[in-house]
Amino acid sequence: MSVLDEVQATVTRVSERASPWVVGIGSRIRGSGFVLEAGRVVTNAHNLRGDEVTVHLPSGRTERGRVVGVDPDGDLAVLAVDTDGAPAAGWGDGAAVAPGRAVFGVAALPEGRTRITVGLVSAVGRAFRGPGGRRIGGSIEHTAPLAPGSSGGPLVDAEGLLLGINTNRVGDAFYLALPADDALRDRLAALARGESTDRPRLGVAVAPAFVARRLRRSVGLPDRDGVLVRGVEEGSPAAAAGIREGDLIVAVGGRPVTDADDLLDALAGAAFPVEVRLVRGAEELAVSAGAAEAGGEK
């Protein structure tokens, strides 16, 4: 068998095995998704326009889906919809993907058809900003071309098994997929049950690190890594802990904080109440803060 014959056979196999569980999202297919289990479909949160959405099924039927769980920071959503007997996605090992591996992008087209594209994994452990501006790490970077309407669709291996969820475009030729690992599987199962994925927050607005350095220098204080508090939400855990505008947050839960991403990561991994270390002028102090549900501030 020639190399071309092998490629053709592989693409055919991928199409036959993955297409039965790939769906389209939106009346004009603005995104894709896949069947998680009977009655549940996964897509990107940025594909949603309200609590209900049209879902194009592999059978060619269209149904109205209802959002049962959404994680805006992770760009994930699970919809409740009649999946019309479509099988659930077959899971591969997204945690074991390495550069150089051949991968296939699968996206929905009208009337239950799919588009299959081929590429290679170019990098792993990549990060990007989600719809809410938060950093999403650990992503698979690949070169399988993705046309508009592909986001939320699967990245699969040569056996048609799920390796990731295509989510973000990088430049003109590279794409990022959330890896289909145990952590993702657990998150999707929680969303499918309607469980909240709200992340804890302090209730502070912060300034970039360079602003903190410039301000400290202007008043004769030494440079110090941290994030500058430029506002405190009334009634928030930060307010209750006595955190003030102008404080420099340097650590949360024992983890050093040098920028807003560090602060978000530290809060996400903290057990509350959590110790927050501050620099106020030349004085360093520690306060204890409880947790609030996620919102527009950190």
Given 19, 32, 150, 151, which residue is catalytic? 151
Catalytic status, residue 46: yes
Given 73, 75, 157, 262, which residue is catalytic? 75
Given 15, 19, 32, 46, which residue is catalytic? 46
Amino acid 2 reads S
Catalytic status, residue 2: no
Catalytic status, residue 150: no
Distance, first Cα to last Cα, the chain:
57
Q: Which residues are the active-site residues? A: 46, 75, 151
